[in-house]
Amino acid sequence: MRYVAILAGIGLLLAVTGTAEATYYVHDGFETVWTGDYAPGWVNMEYRHGDPPIGQMMQQTAIAHSGTYGMKLIADSVPQSWMWFAGVDPESVSAVAMQKQYDPWISAWYYDEGPATPRAAAGQITAVPSWVNGYTGPAGDEDWTDIQHGARFNVQDEYYFVAAGEGHPGWQPTGVDRPLETEDPEWVQLKMQLSSADGKVHFYVNGDEVGQSYRDDYIDLGSEIGLYTMFTDPLSDWGSDKPYTIWDDFEYGSSIPEPVTMAGLMLGIGCLARYVRRRKV
């Protein structure tokens, strides 16, 4: 019986100490060398209306927020000439961990090289929460929940965010200015987090909150999260010098305990229950 009690104590200790430290967390600093068009664990972002634009992830050696490498996200091709975006996303995001009750978040460092004319490119982080609104739109197929946060290619004064949905107010300014000169680029941290307290997505620039979503009915941040390069269309006007953005330290996570913490908790509870039963006998 003493052995069972010791196991219970160890399990509960692992769970309690683990809960304080071991939450769901994924970081990609793009330090692993890759071949082909995508970093390990990343894919091209899908497009719900048909064939997507193609984003190409190219490793960089000269520009990095931390470590040795950053990542250059190139808008490589588009199936339709009007398209002005290309995106990529990680494959194995836990849908459970990104649920609202765990305060899920995503973050990335963006190397903002400032506005450029007449052609401009800009970077954004993005998420696609689950559809919960009963509104189906005039065509009966509305399911647009995209959230974007970062720079814009066509409005270049500051950073913006947008949370799509019925009656959404469009792009909202953050009040944080972008670098005005291409000769003076800056690293900027873009972050969004879904709050379990109010059901809204909160937006941050360099750690400071800069706004909230107009919606508060989200149930998750979604498992389709990633990075965008947006640009002045058409892509054909760019020639061989295709639009790109530079990124580093892409992170996401939530407060849900990792499997090892849950295992410790279950071990502790199970052993404690056995110990209590035996004591009663």
pLDDT tens readout for residues 173-215:
999 999 876 668 999 999 999 999 999 999 999 999 999 999 9
Give the mean model confidence (pLDDT) for residues 92-103.
97
Q: How far apart are CA 111 and CA 122, in angstroms?
A: 10
How many Å separate Cα 210 from the centre of its chain? 17
What's residue 273's pLDDT? 40
* Phi, psi for 242 (deg, rounded to 5): -75, 150
Q: For position 181, what pLDDT does the model report?
A: 67
Quote the tokens at residue 168: 């959404």
Higher confidence at residue 259 or residue 51?
51
Comparing 141-145, 166-170, 229-233, the range with the smallest average pLDDT is 141-145
Tokens 């690293």 — which residue?
187
Q: What is the pLDDT of residue 168?
A: 87
Choice among 18-27, 85-94, 182-191, 201-210 with the minimum mean pLDDT: 18-27
pLDDT over 90 (residue 15): no
Q: Mean pLDDT for the chain?
A: 85
DSSP one-letter code for 100 = G
- How many CA atoms, within 13 angstroms, populate the side-chain half-sphere of residue 163? 19
pLDDT at 9 over 80: no
* Rounded-to-integer distance, Cα 162 and Cα 148, Å: 5
C-alpha to C-alpha distances, 246 to 34, 194, 239, nearest whole angstrom: 16, 25, 19
User: What confidence tier does 259 reach under pLDDT thresholds 50, 70, 90?
Assistant: low
pLDDT band at 42 (very low <50, low <70, confident <90, very high): very high
Closest by CA position to 10, among listed 258, 267, 259 = 267
User: Among 64, 120, 160, 87, which Cα is nearest to 241's?
Assistant: 120
Q: Which of 71-80, 161-170, 207-216 has the lowest mean pLDDT?
A: 161-170
203: left (phi over 0), alpha (psi -120 to 50) or beta: beta
N- to C-terminal Cα distance for the chain? 11
pLDDT digits (tens, 9 = 90+) for 103-157: 999 999 999 998 877 789 999 999 999 998 877 777 777 778 999 999 999 998 9
Helix (H) or strand (E) holding 194: strand 186-194
What is the CA angle 249-251-257, rounded to 5? 145
Domain boundaries, the chain: 1-22+258-281, 25-256
Span 210-224, average pLDDT? 96
Q: What would the CATH number be for the domain defined by 25-256? A: 2.60.120.560
pLDDT at 10: 41
pLDDT given for residue 182 in this prediction: 64
Strand 186-194 and strand 172-177: the pairing is unpaired
